Structure 1
Amino acid sequence: MKAQLKEIPHTPGIYKFFSKNSIIYIGKAKNLKKRVSSYFGDSLKDPKTLKIKLLTDKIETFSTSTEAEALLLEQSLIKENLPRFNILLRDDKTYPYIHFSMSHKFPGISMKRSKHAVSKNFFGPFISMHAVKATIKDIQKIYQVRNCSDSTFSNRSRPCIEHQMNRCSAPCVTKVQALEYALDIELAQSYLSSSGKQTKRLLADQMEKLAHKEDFEQANIIKQRIASLELLQQEQSVNSKISSADFFACTSSHGKTGACILSIRDGKIRGTKTYFFKDDLLGEIDLLLESLIFNYYQNKFSLPEKIIFTMNSNHPELIQEGIILKFQKSVQVSNRLPSGSKSVAKLAILNANQVIENKIKQSEKYDHAMSSLSSQLGLTVSEINIEGIDVSHHSSSHAVAS
C-alpha cells in the first residue's frame, strides 16, 4: 500500500478504493496525495473510515484540471458503480414531467412519468403529480393549449367544454390558425423554462407589436393573458421576496438522517421531495449535499435561481462551480437564508424530520437511545438493566430506602 501511495499525484481528481477487485469507495479531492494518504495514517478514524482502510487492497486515481471537474466525475462514477461505502440515492422511481407532443401539427400538453427527461419536449421533473396538474391548468388559463389525446383531437366535430371555459383555443375544429397556435406553444414552453417576469415581458412585447400593426383584436387577447398571469401570480404567491429557489434541509435523529428538497417557483411552493438514510450522515454533510444536488437536477430547465442550504455546507462555492460546469448555467448556492424565508426553511426542516419519524419504529428509537446512553456512560455490555429505587421518609429527615 505504501508503494501505491507514493505514486499518487498532488493534483485535483478522483480516487477509487478496491477490495478483492470490487470498488468499495469513490471520492474526490483537491489534492489527491493528501486526501488518500489521510485514510492510511495513524490518527484515530471513525468506524466507516476504519473499515475502508482495513478492506482496501488497491487504489486507483484519476487527475482532473479542477476540483469542480472532480466533483462531477465522482458523482457520475458513484451512480455507475454504486460502491458500498458511498452515500447512495437508490431512487428507481419515475417522476412527473410536462410533455409537449411536438410531432403533432397542433401539439398537446400532458403529464408523463419518466426517470429523466427523454427529450427537450419534457419539462421537469416536478416533485408531485399535483404540481404538474396545477401547472398544466395554469398554462391552459393563459395560453389555451389543448390537453386532450391525439385520438380525441382527431375525432372532435365541435369544441369541448375546455373551449367554453376559455382553457383551449379549439384547434380541433380550426378555431385557431396553426401559426398562431405554434406561438402559443412557444410561449407556454417559455413560461415553464423562465420566470413569470420574463413571460410577462414577452407577452407585453407581443402586445405592443400587434398594437403597432393595428391588430387591436389580437392585442386585446394578449392583454387578457397578461391580466390572467398577474391574477395567477397574486393568487398563488406565498412569498413575493422568493421567486425561484430550492431549499435543502438535512436533519438527523435516532441515528438516522432525513433530507428534504422544497421547491419554490414564481413565489409559490411547487412541492417537496424527501429522502431517508439509515445512518447519521450529518458528519459528511458536504458529500450528502453533493449527492442530493447532482442526482436531483437532470437538466438546466429544472434549476432554480437560488439553492439554499438550511445547514452549513463547507464548500457551497464548489457546488456552484460544478453546476456551471455541468449545466452551463449560473445558480447562486448559499448557506444564508434570504430575507423573509425563515418560515419556508422551517417547513423544509419539518419535512426532513418527519421522514425519519415516518420510517423508523418505536423499538428502533429505544435501541438508539440505549446505545447512546451506553456510549455516554462508557459501558461495553450489550444489555443494560436500569433499576429504580423507591425512597420513602417519615418526615423531613430519617430517609429510608425500601
Structure 2
Amino acid sequence: MIDDDKLANLPESPGVYMFRDKDDKIIYVGKAKSIRDRVHSYFVEGKREGWTERLLKNIDDVSVVLTGNEKEAFLLENNLIKEHQPKYNALLKDDKTYVSLRLSVKDPFPALSVTRDIKEDGALYFGPHPSVRDVKDFMKIVQSLYPVRRCKDAVFRKRTRPCILFDIGKCTAPCVGNIDETSYRAIVHELMDFLSGKNEKLLKDLEGQIEKAAAEWDFERAREKRERYHAIKRLVERQHVHEHLGKNRDVWAVLQEEGRIRMVVLNFRRGVLISKRSFLQPSSLDAGDAFSSFLFQYYATRHVPDEIILSEELEDMPLLEQHLRERRRGIRLLGPHDRGAGDMIRLAVENLHEVEPVVLDEAFRRVLHLSKTPTRIEVYDISHTGGANPSGIMVVFEGFKPRKDAYRVFHIREAGSEDDVAMMSEVLTRRMSDEGMRPLPDLVILDGGKGQLSAALAVFRTARVNPDVISIAKGQGRKRMEDVLYLPFRKNPLLLPKSSPVFKEIVRMRDEAHRFAIASHKKWKRREDLSSALPRIAGVGKKRMTLLLKEFTSLDAIREADVDLIATLPGFNRKVAEEIKRALSQSNQSNQ
C-alpha cells in the first residue's frame, strides 16, 4: 500500500499515473487534470466498484509522468496502456491509433487527408487527435476556408474534369489546371499556419457567427456554430508534444547531487510523448562531464532520434553531435538556448523534480525484499595482504550519501587470517555488541558470498538485532566474472540487470568499501614502515615515536621536514631532531 507521505506529495499537475504491484509491474494506468486529487480519490472510504477494491488490494506503489495539459495526458495514457497492457485497464479492443491530418507538402499540389498511420515520408502531420468525429467535422470547415484537394494521388493524376467538391466551392480543382502552383501554395501556407495554431481568424469568425445567430433568435444555428467552435478549439490547442509533429526526439534534463547525477529523458516518437525514463548515475565528475559520458554510452546501443534536446550546454556538444551523426545523418543536438527547446526542457525538468528522494529507498525495499526502507546502510569488507595485518572495515551511508565520519576499521584479534568468514563474524560481533556504536543499521551489505551471509545471520541472532542483510560476490559458472547478490534463505543468487538503479547503487557502495579498505591498508603500511625504522634512532622512545607518527605519515615526509620543524614538536629539541635527520639520511643511503 502507498504510504500517506507519498500520497500527500504527489503533484497537482496534469499527467499520467501508474499503479504498480509488489513486483513493480504496472497494473493500472490513468490520466488526470490533478494527479494528486485523482489518486487520492481511490483511497477515500465509501462505495467502490468491485474492480476498484481488487485494484486497491494489489497496489504497492505509484509513479507519475507530468504532461503539459490534459490532452497530452490522454494521448500518453493510450500509448502506455498499449505498451504495458495493465491488468486493470479496459484495453482497446481494436488497438486503433488516434487520427491525424496529413498534408503532403512535397507534392506540387499538396493534398489534405485523414490518417491513422504516421510515416517519415516528408509530409506534415497534425495530431494525433482522439476523436474521429471531431476531425471529420473539422475537415468540412477547413475545406470551406482552405479549398485544397482531398483526392488520392492516383485519382488526381487521372482526372479530366473537376469533382463535385469544386462545384460546391470546397476545392480549387488543381487536377485540371484551374489554379497555378504559386496561388495554390499560398492557400497551403495559410492552412499550415492555421493547423499549427498560429491563426485564430476562424475562431473569431465563428464567435461573430454565434453572436449573430443568437441575436436573430436562431438558436439551432447558434448551437451548431458553438459545437464547431469548441471542436476547432480542441483540435488547435497548442501542445508541448506536438510543436514539431512527425519528428522523433529525446528531451533530457539533468541534476547533480552529491556523488551522483539524476537524469530523465522524455521520448517523443512521431511527435507523441510515449515514455519517460529516469536514471541515477553514481559520479564524482562535474555534471556536464558525467552527463556527456552517459549520453555517449546510452546512444551507443540505442536508436538515435531526429533531435536530442539537452537541459544543459555541454563543452563537448560538437563532438557528441559529430559522433551521433556517424550513426544518423542529419541529427540535431539542441541546448537550452536554442529556439523552440525551452518548453520541451521545462517539461523534462518538471518530470526530473518529480523523482522523489525516497524512490531509491523504495526500490531497494521492493527489489531486495527488505522488511523496511533503509535509512542507514553499513557495508563491510575484509582486507589483508597475504594474511598479514587482517582487518575489517565498515563504511556507512545515510540517505544513500556517505557518512565518512562514521567509517571504522576493526583490526582482527582472534579469527585466523586465512578464514574470511570467521573474520567477518568477528567484525560484525564487535560492531553489534558495542553500545557506543549506535544507531544500528537498517541494512547490512557484505562483500562476500553465502558463507559470510550465514555468519552474519548467526551473529544477529546472538546479538538479538534484526537488520536486513545481503551480500555481493562474484558469481559461479557462466556468471563467474559478474557481481551477483545473495539474499537470506534463498538458494540461488538474485540476478539484477546491470542497468538496475538498485544494482548500480550496491556496486557503488561496495566499491567505496574497497577504496576505504585499500586506503586504510596503505596508511597502516606507512605507519608500520615508520614505526619499524624509528626505534633504532637514539633518543627516540615510545612517546616521541607516537608524536612523530601522529605528525608525519611517512619516512619520506620526515626526511623532507626541516630540523627546526621537528624540534618544535612537544618533547623534542634540536639535538634530537638532528639525530633523527642524520639516522634517516644514512638509512636512505644504505638502501640505494
Structure possessing the higher relative contact order (Cα contacts under 8 Å, 6 or more residues apart):
1
Structure with higher Rg: it is 2
Using structure 2 for the length normalisation, give the TM-score: 0.27
- TM-score, normalised to structure 1's length? 0.37
